[in-house]
Structure 1
Amino acid sequence: ACLQSANHEVGTGQQLAAVAELCRAAGVPLLVDAAQSLGREPVPDGWSLLAGSAHKWGGPSGVGLLAVRKGVRFAAQGPADEREAGRAAGFENIPAIVAAAASLRAVRAEAAAESVRLRALVDRIRAAVPELVPDVEVVGDPVRRLPHLVTFSCLYVDGETLLHELDRAGFSVSSGSSCTSSTLTPSHVLRAMGVLSEGNVRVSLPNGTAEADVDRFLEVLPRVVAEVRQRLGAPVSPPRETAPAASLVVDALGKRCPIPVIELAKVIGEVPVGGTVTVLSDDEAARLDIPAWCAMREQEYVGEEPADRGAAHVVRRLS
């Protein structure tokens, strides 16, 4: 069995102790990916194998860690020779390994105090972002989570543009959004959670992050999001009042995240309460983002219907 100690995208901690007990009772070895946790907080006992990566705790890049508990049967899956008891071939990078161990020891000595400090900064971001930026969904467990990581999604925002503008302002963040150049499909994690994927921002605070850096990020973010929304023509005013049409069809075929949701938001006020809007879209992200928009806006997602191209997403206006 394999399990992350905490999810790399949203920071939610897994219930490792309970899983380890189930695996022990069933006689199944448990491999724990602790890359995000090592150097920040203790990893619960009970694992059979533990994996980590030195660059995550500030060590040298390219050095991985695999701890095999005594008594666990282990066989190398690749080439091997007499080194490392037949577990790895070739000559090890001893200087990098020593540096990785030394850096892990150093950060663990300060981990408890630094985790408390970073957790307070992340709590501030989690609370402030929805207050400063309209139409934002903060994702991940608010309590059972890593101390340094926070993820949120901004409605009506193109993820790639948002990351670019934040980078220009001096902030290096990442995204699980569907609207980035590397992928046109939403993160499998966000998809499984059923949360908004468009305009997704993952903020990871390195050790030593100053409170002033968080202050400036919270100062810059609302302006950047507003500018990106303006470029995309996102709605900035409440929906118009009831109009005679009982249903509308929005043709968003060929348009990518977040345009289908923006087009939906523009016209939802043109149908009466109880009326429907059908969004035609061939964007894979629409299957996730339109239901998420309905949940945020307290409208009803009726479902998806087949169409000649893509799919027809039906939304019923409730208010």
Structure 2
Amino acid sequence: MTSARGYLDTASAEPLHPAARETLLAALDRGYADPRRLHRAGRDARLLLDNARAVVAECIGARADEIGFAASGTDAVHRGLLGLARARSGEGVVHSAVEHSAVLQAVGWQDSPAHQSVPVDAAGRVDLAAMADAARRPGVAVVALQAANQEVGTVQPVDALDLPDDVPLFVDAAASVGRLPLPTRWSALAASAHKWGGPGGVGVLAVRRSARWTTPFPGDDGLDQLSGSTWVPGALAAAAALQAVLAERDETAARQHAQVDRIRACAGALPDTEVVGDPVDRLPHLITFSCLYVSGDELVAGLDRRGFGVASGSACTASTLEPSHVLAAMGALTHGNVRVSLRADTTDDEVEGFCAALTAVVTDIRAGIGT
């Protein structure tokens, strides 16, 4: 896919897939116009946009008229979750304690005493019984549960969640689209194209026709133009990348599972190091571990000097290097954590090189502080 050797932070952004690059360049010459216009250029843009919606719908198990393109994955999360809540009389949101910050921001923006955060176990998996009980309390408008955690990789048992018929379910699928089969029992689902090799600035919001949803922000109702004029070439490129990634998913996932198992073994062999997340029922490409006596920024810098780009801090607010709310909710070590997420073309030799670099960096840092 790319020559981005050493880049191991695809949970933040996957390098642009060749299918996305080719489609984007071609679409720039045809998809520049406003697809709402009736002139020839507008109709051309509309055809491209409709094609993108149809492809994404097929890929995620939805209808084309249930798909909208937002300005980003965060925008899609905010519109999807708050739109479900606004369409109902209640305002409360029940969510897992390990949801992405975009979900937590939306919950905090709409203050309600009916909000409830549901705890998770040491693997990061939500307590389904507690979430079902919370969903039945007065004032609850919507339940939010991610398909898989973007920081530790643990898959959530979304389809096993027993909710009242009148309480909709919002699913943040940004971490899992293109990597795992998606849950089917959702009212609204959000994703982000740059997570699967599409261009940045393209979010996907899917809303079931059977769901009660209305736009939570000023603007027209409906999914057709969620945030003004849709970036048509970007939407089409995102669809092309997703289609290509799904065609290779099983082969890629099998290879990445084995590679992550190798990194898990390496990290687990380091003294005073905790590998977190479910070791089996997880995203195929991702691993997080925490090293005692070592700060996350030191690890990131040391590995970067050796040619490997990884993440630290909270996965959704990594630029601040704030302690991870996900790890804290799991009762895991929040100090000195590193998240590694593989590219689709990461090689076994690259993984071996990373393992050697990790061992050297941790050893050197600890030696420097006399540990």
SS in 1 for 2:280: coil
Residues 62-103 of structure 1, C-alpha deviations (whole Å, 9 max, x = no match): 100001112112101112238745x63521111101111111
Alignment match, 1:211: 348
Question: Could you say which residue in structure 2 is the equivalent of 1:95?
Answer: 233
User: Within the alignment, does 1:140 sit opposite 2:269 as a pair?
Assistant: no
Percent identity of equivalent pairs: 54
Counterpart in the other structure of 2:361: 224
Q: Distance in 1 between matches of 2:264 and 2:365?
A: 21
Q: What root-mean-square deviation, in Å, do the aligned CA atoms of Structure 1 and Structure 2 show?
A: 2.1
Q: Distance in 2 between matches of 1:51 and 1:184?
A: 25
Name the residue aligned to 2:260: 122
Say yes or no: does 1:188 pair with 2:325.
yes
> 1:2 maps to which residue?
144
Point out the structure with the larger strand share.
1
Amino acid aligned to 1:186 = P
Unaligned 5+ runs, structure 2: 1-142
1:60 paired residue among 199, 202, 205: 199
Runs of 4+ in 1 over 6 A off after TM superposition: none
**Partner SS state of residue 13, structure 1:** coil
User: Larger radius of gyration, structure 1 or 2?
Assistant: 1
Partner AA of 1:43 in structure 2: L
Tell me, yes or no, if the aligned pair for 1:10 and 1:140 is still in contact at 8 Å: yes
Corresponding residue SS for 1:217: helix
Q: Deviations over 1:190-237 (max 9, x none)?
A: 111111122111000011111111010011111111111122232xxx
Distance 1:84 1:184 in 2: 35
Return the match for 1:51 from 161, 179, 190.
190
Compute the displacement of 1:26 (Å).
Answer: 3.8
Give the conservation status (yes or no) of the 8 Å contact 1:121–1:211. yes
Instruction: After TM superposition, list the pairs within 5 Å mapping 1:148-187 onto structure 2.
Output: 148-176=285-313, 182-183=319-320, 185-187=322-324
Cα pair distance change 1:181/1:228, threshold 3 Å: farther
1:114-152 deviations in Å (ceiling 9; x for gaps): 101101111111122222x22211011111110000011
Number of matched pairs: 228
Matched residue, 1:17: 159
Residue identity matched to 2:145: L
8 Å contact kept, 1:53–1:63: yes
CA distance in 2, matches of 1:41, 1:54: 15
Aligned equivalents of 1:191, 1:81: Cα separation in 2 = 40
Asked whether the 8 Å contact 2:311–2:318 carries over to 1, the reply is no
Partner of 2:95: none
Q: 1:256 maps to which residue?
A: none
TM-score normalised by structure 2 residue count:
0.58
Higher RCO, 1 vs 2 (CA within 8 Å, ≥6 residues apart): 2
CA offsets per residue over residues 34-79 of structure 1, 9 Å max, x none?
0010011111211111100000000000100001112112101112
Structure-2 change in CA distance of 1:88 and 1:183 (3 Å): closer
